[in-house]
A and B are shown apart, each in its own frame.
Chain A
Amino acid sequence: MIVPIVFLVISVAGFILSGLPLSFLFNEMVFRLSRNLILVMSLIIPVITGMGLNFGIVLGAMAGQIGLIFIINYGFGDIGGILIAVLVSTPIAILFGYLVGKVLNKAKGKEMITSMILGFFANGIYQLVFIVLAGRLIPIKNADMLMSTGTGLKNTIDLNIIRKSLDNLFFAKFTSFPIVTLIVSALLFVGLYFLLKTKLGQEMRAVGQSMHIAGVSGINVDRTRIIAIVISTVLAAWGQIVYLQNMGTLSTYTNHEQVGLFAVASLLIGGASVEKASWKEALIGTFLFHLLFIVSPLAGQNLMGNAQIGEYFRVFIAYGVIGLALLLHAWEKSKAKTQLSDI
């Protein structure tokens, strides 16, 4: 529990330095939690299955964005549009997840670095499809989405027709808070909880404990690992749709890039490790990471007279936290190894 406490102290100090009003902070935090929780949650299952932090959720985020590009192209708005986006992106995410799982099964023990490089690689393919092929091979009906040359999607696409249509569903008359989004996130968390109680969940945990023992006791290890990644990728796709309907604009070529980094950093700040993660860490971590995100530029401005320092500081925190967590984990593991051989 030491990691979350340290970050809580840093965040509170930053909050005092930033001089932000509490009500503003509260509003901002509710929205940030609602739009990031599902993305962070998508990391939990691969951790339990022993595959470490799945940086491959970048592919899930891409699938979500493909769903959104689809509905904007055909002009499906409101909550119906979001449902269609979910329906379109889910099979794509399942396919991506299957492919990621296949690749990761070939790189056992190096899953994290492989999933990260896989994210970069997929980014290249994504750009190929939407810069070069869109408008040529892929018909785009909505000319507003294309660059002036007629090929390639614009850098930013307006999502106004679905903006906040999930957030404001049903409760818009009473409050501006994203009640439905929070309910959906909570339901997914409950679903995850029950999934882990099922036979499949038990198998995942067994594979996470030891692939060898799980294999000997009759569990299909490779299949279980692929299922874990598929679930993670699908959740990431949904998470990205929820995130973007709140933001209201899609940065076509950059929105998915940071997803892996920020989600992983959030989970780790919450006290999770490469081998252990649950909904508690996801919730606490998302809260603390975004608290730090809001206060650090202003704190940097007030403390050092330069907002840029705060900006760099939070990037440093994101990378540093991941680096430190991975370092400590690997260290513990190798210490355990030497102790065994000493006996």
Chain B
Amino acid sequence: MDIKKIYRKIGFPRLIISAFLLLLLIVAAALNIPMSGVWQDIFTRFGMNAILVLAMVPSIQSGIGINFNLPLGVIFGLIGALISMEFGLTGWASFFVAIGIAVPLAIIAGYFYGQMLNRIKGQEMTVGNYFGYSIVSFMCIFWLVAPFKNPEMTWAMGGSGLRVTLSMESTMGGVLDNALRADVYPQWVPQWLENFLEIVPLGLLLTFAIFATIIWIFSKSKLGTSMKVAGSSEAFATSNGINVDKHRILGIILSTVLAAIGIIVYSQSFGFVQLYNAPLYVALPAAASILIGGASLRKAKIIHVIIGTFLFQGLLVVALPVINILSEGSMAEIIRIVISNGIILYALTRKEGEAA
């Protein structure tokens, strides 16, 4: 295989971003930044964000493109988490009740959203984006008037209206991250494994692995294959007797459900539920991640999710301490804005089907 072929396989954006990440890692090492902390952050942030990025896969595969309406699923995930917190549940019970409430709601919402998208083929991304914004701003009003009574969740003064960030420390904070960690490890666990488990949030990564496997098996199944066919060519799918509209709805339901689960996993790892305008900032980083990983507006695989999330989050994690030493703090934020929007622009200006 000659160099040109390898270059084409890796792709220009990934080459640049990997090189940049490598450079940052070398600089970080040279500046004596503790690497175990950096790796712990990279793995944790990978696990936090990966399911949200995974949510892009079914929507791209079913032909809808980037699901800029990720906030729709996120909202229902948040509602699930809030209700389980209102009941005062803790630990695993809290986590599973949240998912149990969020998933059916997300399925219903995804179904109706899919119905809507089937009437506006070709404009899904623009409409979806503003639909998402509208829902988030509408929910801002809902969070203010919602009948939650738990004093830990409402404003201290007045006793009504949810706070902007709610701590999950006493409920489900870190259940997945710490699932395979212990305060005191049993005798038979060797020291290296102990260190490894402290750095790598294995429970969190396994959760992602489970969902990624489910999506992978699904995409190999008959239903998943016909969904991909429906996404790649409507005319071809119709002539083969595939109901395109039905498969698009399936894709968007899967995407919405994954977004709902994704935000619960994200919040438990982060330790806080973020309400009000926070769901607005979910879709763009997720879209950027999967595109960095090598997906296009028409084609996405699990491997793109893994590579993209790792590169994107890695960049953010390593850039922050390095730049804080070399320059002022806002630089890390600027790099995030430029890279995430730059990669989306790059994908939007490619011809159909060409990988970013």
Residues 113-150 of A at the B interface (beta carbon under 8 Å): 113-114, 116-118, 120-121, 123-125, 127-128, 131-132, 149
A106 touches B129 (CB 8 A): no
Q: CB within 8 Å of A: which of B310-356?
A: 327-328, 330-331, 333-334, 337-338, 341-342, 344-345, 348-349
- Residues on the B chain within 8 Å of A131, using CB: 328, 330-331, 334
Contact of A312 with B144 at beta-carbon distance under 8 Å, contacts A110-B125, A121-B345, A127-B330 already known: yes
B134 in the interface (beta carbon within 8 A): yes
Contacts of A113 in B (CB 8 A): 68, 125-126, 129, 348
For residue A315, which residue of chain B has the nearest CB?
A: B137
* Residues of chain A within 8 A of B116, CB atoms compared: 327
**B119 at the A/B interface (Cβ < 8 Å)?**
yes
A170 CB to closest chain B CB, in angstroms? Answer: 42
B328–A110 contact, CB under 8 A? no
Complex partner residue of B129 from A116, A306, A313, A320, CB under 8 angstroms = A116
Task: Select which of B68, B129, B327 is within 8 A of A132 by beta carbon.
Answer: B327
User: Are B345 and A118 in contact (CB-based, < 8 A)?
Assistant: yes
Across-interface contacts of B334 in A (CB, < 8 A): 124, 127-128, 131-132
Residues in A neighbouring B327, C-beta threshold 8 A: 132
Interface residue count on the A side (C-beta < 8 Å) = 46
Is B43's beta carbon under 8 Å from chain A? Answer: no
Q: Which residues of B contact A110 (CB under 8 A)?
A: 125-126, 348
Looking at chain B's contact residues, the main secondary structure is helix
Report yes or no: B328 in contact with A120, Cβ–Cβ below 8 A.
no
CB of A195 closer than 8 Å to a CB of B = no
Q: CA of A127 to CA of B122 in the docked complex: distance in angstroms?
A: 33
| Interface residue? A156 (CB, 8 A) | no
Q: How far is the CA of A112 from the CA of B120 in the complex (A)?
A: 15
A330-B123 CB under 8 A given contacts A113-B129, A131-B334? yes
Q: Which residues of B contact A (CB under 8 A)?
A: 68, 116, 119-123, 125-127, 129-131, 133-134, 136-138, 140-141, 144-145, 161, 284, 327-328, 330-331, 333-334, 337-338, 341-342, 344-345, 348-349
* A positions within 8 Å CB-CB of B: 52, 103, 106-107, 109-110, 112-114, 116-118, 120-121, 123-125, 127-128, 131-132, 149, 151-152, 304, 306, 308-309, 312-313, 315-316, 318-320, 322-324, 326-327, 329-331, 333-335
Smallest CB-CB A-B distances: 9 pairs: A124-B337, A330-B120, A323-B130, A330-B123, A124-B338, A121-B341, A106-B349, A316-B137, A319-B133
